[in-house]
């Protein structure tokens, strides 16, 4: 377990992504995934009010609803650290105060809980000054309905402004950021965000840790992507540079008797990530995720992966 900075929240260093709940995983399968995750020692689940608005016939809120029903059915709310996000749901767009306050109430209802453990601004709303955003989220924490604040998809400049404003005005300081980061998407985090993480001492929970499944090794040709829910996104990496990363991943995995999925997530942990986010559509996919914190890559293995992924750095 690891403690999120400036909180008393202890989390397993693998954050289960809830984007599949109610989308590629129906209710019963989602329950099975969550059961497998918690039975293996996991306790940290990430969702958002917008999940999964992109699904046919969906309006958003499906993931939170499924997660809330599971929490109630299993009676485990106090044992699970719940993270959700605000700002991207079409019916609740942006980070104006009234919108955020109302969106929080709707998320609480769907989740069947009285508090969110980690509440993210899902993406920046440049129409709202950072000082106003920081004041709104501070208000939510003071209300007791939010325990900690996180930021996702912010520019380095606006991240710095939020941290500095919160410290100067004695508002709630964000404890985590959620950037995109993986072996085929290194540049933005390593060049722009890593210095801020070191300066302000925040947790990092990277999303797309498996690059939409590409880093599981199951997408090697265009035919592999056909008919897959994430095939289009994974297919974007089907080029010589992307396949070279998969080849290196598979090589390390075979030598260690591990899955490429496990190695890709272990690499993120070796880069200092607090808890990578990864999702599973079926319970049989969970063990490969949960094995990552126990797989300590050697310096040589990290170098092999770093070198293969250098074009993305």
Q: How far apart are CA 189 and CA 129, in angstroms?
A: 24
The tens digit of pLDDT for each residue in 142-169 reads: 999 999 999 999 999 999 999 999 999 9
pLDDT for res 230: 64
225 has a pLDDT exceeding 80: no
Percentage, residues of the chain above pLDDT 90: 92
112 has a pLDDT exceeding 90: yes
Q: Are strands 118-121 and 149-152 parallel, antiparallel or unpaired?
A: parallel
Q: How far apart are CA 120 and CA 48, in angstroms?
A: 9
pLDDT for res 229: 63
Percentage, residues of the chain above pLDDT 70: 98
Q: Which residues 6+ apart lie within 8 Å of 54 measured at CB? A: 23
Q: How far apart are CA 85 and CA 64, in angstroms?
A: 10
pLDDT for res 231: 61
pLDDT for res 233: 77
Q: How far apart are CA 96 and CA 105, in angstroms?
A: 15
196 has a pLDDT exceeding 90: yes
Which tokens belong to 234?
């994974």
Q: Which residues partner with 44 through β-bridges?
A: 81
The tens digit of pLDDT for each residue in 40-61 reads: 999 999 999 999 999 999 999 9
The tens digit of pLDDT for each residue in 269-290 reads: 999 999 999 999 999 999 999 9
Among candidates 269, 249, 290, which has minimal Cα distance to 38?
Answer: 290
pLDDT for res 234: 77
pLDDT for res 221: 75
The tens digit of pLDDT for each residue in 93-108 reads: 999 999 999 999 999 9
Average pLDDT value over all residues in the chain: 96
pLDDT band at 228 (very low <50, low <70, confident <90, very high): confident
The tens digit of pLDDT for each residue in 229-240 reads: 666 677 789 899
Q: Are strands 203-204 and 149-152 parallel, antiparallel or unpaired?
A: unpaired
Overall pTM surpassing 0.85 (yes/no):
yes
pLDDT for res 223: 73
Q: Which residues partner with 177 through β-bridges?
A: 151, 204
Give me the count of residues in the chain. 313
DSSP string, the chain: -EEPTTS--EE-SSEEE-TTBTTTB-HHHHHHHHHHHHHTT--EEE--TTTTTTSTT--S-HHHHHHHHHHHHHT-GGG-EEEEEES--TTS-S--HHHHHHHHHHHHHHHT-S-BSEEEE-S--TTS-HHHHHHHHHHHHHHTSBS-EEEES--HHHHHHHHHHHHHHTPPPP-EEE-B-BTTB-HHIIIIIHHHHHHHT-EE--B-TTTTTGGGT---SHHHHTT-TTHHHHHTT-SHHHHHHHHHHHHHHHHHT--HHHHHHHHHHHTT-S--EE--SSGGGHHHHHTGGG----HHHHHHHHHHTGGG-
Cβ atoms of 176 and 119 within 8 Å: the answer is no
């Amino acid at each position: 377990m690891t403690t999120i900075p400036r909180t008393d929240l202890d989390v397993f260093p693998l954050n289960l992504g809830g984007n599949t709940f109610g989308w590629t995983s129906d209710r019963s399968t989602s329950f099975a995934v969550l059961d497998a995750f918690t039975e293996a020692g996991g306790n940290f689940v990430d969702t958002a009010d917008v999940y999964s608005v992109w699904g046919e016939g969906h309006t958003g809120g499906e993931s939170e609803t499924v997660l809330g029903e599971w929490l109630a059915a299993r009676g485990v709310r106090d044992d699970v650290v719940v993270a959700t996000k605000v700002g991207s749901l079409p019916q609740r767009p942006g980070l104006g105060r009234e919108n955020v306050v109302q969106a929080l109430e709707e998320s609480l209802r769907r989740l069947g809980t009285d508090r969110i453990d980690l509440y993210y601004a899902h993406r920046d709303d440049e129409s709202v000054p950072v000082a106003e955003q920081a004041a709104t989220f501070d208000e939510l924490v003071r209300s007791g309905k939010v325990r900690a604040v996180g930021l996702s998809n912010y520019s380095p400049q606006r991240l710095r402004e939020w941290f500095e404003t919160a410290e100067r005005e004695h508002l709630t300081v964000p404890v985590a950021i959620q950037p995109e980061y993986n072996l085929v998407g290194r540049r933005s985090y390593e060049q722009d965000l890593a210095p801020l993480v070191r300066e302000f001492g925040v947790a990092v929970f990277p999303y797309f840790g498996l690059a939409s499944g590409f880093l599981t090794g199951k997408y090697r040709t265009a035919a592999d992507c056909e008919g897959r829910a994430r095939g289009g996104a994974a297919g974007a990496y089907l080029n010589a540079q992307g396949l070279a990363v998969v080849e290196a991943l598979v090589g390390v995995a075979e030598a260690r008797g591990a899955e490429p999925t496990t190695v890709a997530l272990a690499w993120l942990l070796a880069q200092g990530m607090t808890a990578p986010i990864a999702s599973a559509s079926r319970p049989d996919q969970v063990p490969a995720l949960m094995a990552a914190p126990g797989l300590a890559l050697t310096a040589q293995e990290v170098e092999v992966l770093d070198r293969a992924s250098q074009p993305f750095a």
